[in-house]
Amino acid sequence: MTKTVDIVVPCYNEEEMLKMFFEETTKVINTIPNYSFKYIFIDDGSRDKTYEILKELGSTYDNVSYISFSRNFGKEAGMYAGLSYTTADYVIVMDADLQHPPALIPEMIKNIEEGYDCCAAMRTTREGESPIRSFFSRTFYKLSNKITDVDLVQGAVDYRIMSRAMVDAVMSMSEKQRFSKGIFAWVGFKTKWIPYENVERALGTTKWSFKSLFRYAVTGITTFSIAPIRFVTGMGFFISLIGFLYIVFTIVKTLIFGIDVAGYVTTLSAVIFLGGITLISIGILGEYIANIYIEVKNRPLFILKDTNISLTDNHRKKEQ
Ligand code: UDP
Ligand code: MG
């Protein structure tokens, strides 16, 4: 029996890469017999011709579906939307810029057939990336693996094939603040990692700025761990203890040596230091409150503008 595979591809301003991506990937999947592949492209509110290209591909090829957002909602929303429209036995998630080599697809499928629930790619090199970015990335992985329940794999990218059971598990996590690397790890399932050499983007540019990566890292940590809050509590106890010891020390000193001239510098340093610590602590609490705020608002993760997927399509596929 032919098995079905949906390929979910989030795209934001990818007019330069899209056709090349489609051709390259199609070449690869055409070499894999006994599987029927379908693309689900997500136009994440692109400002270029991405939407037009997707429409054209959609009307030319039967196996091309697209979803177009009303504005840019981010790659996480794109992946979520794409996954929510999948119906196939297996689902592949990959980038549109060919940085995720389609040549790995046959190996991924082989692994999942051998009993894995998931087969994911990891970069072995970070060539083409600035040293500062690599440093921050490494620090993030170390920190997050230490303080969260999930173990993130260094170099893991959002390029993977998943079984239907795993996709359903990922979709059952309804959080609005989505950090997929954490979600994929959190749901568990047997995952096989396949290494590959980093590929540089041929055309177009990365959509990530340092600021957006930093925010993403903060979301990753604060949605998967409350260690920062514990840290604030611990710090409070520690500083109180030091304060207490200092009071005892001062009382004893005064009793023995009499009153000293008041230390202006010590007082000022203590005020500034504690002021800083207090503000950081409020900031950390604020991150969690912001997360709660975003979750309770319960806004949709994306707003659909147009799609060529109809519900009946989905149902027809399910019945097959
Ligand atoms: N992307 C998206 N929405 C965004 C930003 C990126 O759908 O707001 C897509 C983008 O089109 C690409 C993938 O996510 O297919 C990865 O983006 P990019 O290549 O910029 O990230 P990098 O490879 O530098 O991590
Ligand atoms: Mg890229």
- Ligand 1 atom closest to 205 (CA): 20
CB 1, CB 87: distance < 8 Å: no
CA 13/CA 115 separation, integer angstroms: 37
Domain shared by 165 and 244, yes or no? no
Q: What phi and psi values does residue 98 have, to the nearest 5 degrees?
A: 65, 15
Domain shared by 211 and 238, yes or no? no
**Of 53, 48, 49, 47, nearest in space to 39 by CA:** 53
Atom 8 of ligand 1, nearest CA residue: 74
- Ligand 1 atom closest to 157 (CA): 25
Pocket test for ligand 1, best of 46, 54, 97 (most atoms within 8 A of CB): 97
Question: Is residue 308 within a helix (H) or strand (E), and if so which, with residue range?
Answer: none
b/e for 123-156, b at 16 or more Cβ within 10 A?
beeeeeeeeeeeeebeebbeebeeebebebeebb
CA–centroid distance, 137 to ligand 2, in Å, is 16
Per-residue pLDDT tens listing for the chain (320 residues): 789 999 999 999 988 889 999 999 999 999 998 899 999 999 999 999 999 999 999 999 989 999 999 999 999 999 999 999 999 999 999 999 888 999 999 999 999 999 999 999 998 876 666 788 788 888 888 888 888 888 888 888 889 999 999 999 999 998 999 999 899 999 989 999 999 887 777 777 777 778 888 888 888 889 998 899 999 999 999 989 998 898 888 888 888 888 766 677 778 888 888 898 899 899 999 999 999 999 999 999 999 998 888 765 554 444 44
What is the domain-level CATH number for residue 26? 3.90.550.10
In a domain, 313, yes or no: no
Domain shared by 212 and 264, yes or no? no
CB 14, CB 99: distance < 8 Å: no
Domain shared by 198 and 249, yes or no? no
In a domain, 305, yes or no: no
Domain shared by 209 and 253, yes or no? no
Domain endpoint, select from 190, 225, 260: 225
3-class secondary-structure state, position 285: helix
Domain that holds residue 99: 3-225
- Between the alpha carbon of residue 165 and those of residues 87, 118, 122, 264, 317, the distances in Å are 11, 10, 22, 65, 17
H-type alpha helices, 153-226: 164-172, 180-186, 210-224
In a domain, 56, yes or no: yes
Pocket test for ligand 1, best of 95, 159, 160 (most atoms within 8 A of CB): 95
- Overall number of domains in the chain: 2
Domain shared by 233 and 213, yes or no? no
Q: How much of the chain is helix, strand and coil, in % rounded to 5? A: 50, 15, 30
In a domain, 319, yes or no: no
Domain shared by 207 and 292, yes or no? no
In a domain, 63, yes or no: yes
CA–centroid distance, 96 to ligand 2, in Å, is 8
- Ligand 1 atom closest to 79 (CA): 7
Pocket test for ligand 1, best of 16, 136, 180, 207 (most atoms within 8 A of CB): 207
CA 156/CA 138 separation, integer angstroms: 12
Atom 19 of ligand 1, nearest CA residue: 206
In a domain, 197, yes or no: yes
CA–centroid distance, 230 to ligand 1, in Å, is 34
Domain shared by 102 and 151, yes or no? yes
Domain endpoint, select from 225, 249, 270: 225
Domain endpoint, select from 225, 244, 269: 225
- Ligand 1 atom closest to 11 (CA): 11
Is the CA virtual torsion 173, 176, 180, 185 positive or negative? negative
In a domain, 302, yes or no: no
The residue whose two tokens read 């659909």 is 304
In a domain, 317, yes or no: no
Domain shared by 173 and 285, yes or no? no
Domain shared by 21 and 122, yes or no? yes
Domain shared by 177 and 220, yes or no? yes
Amino acid at 180: S
Domain shared by 161 and 34, yes or no? yes
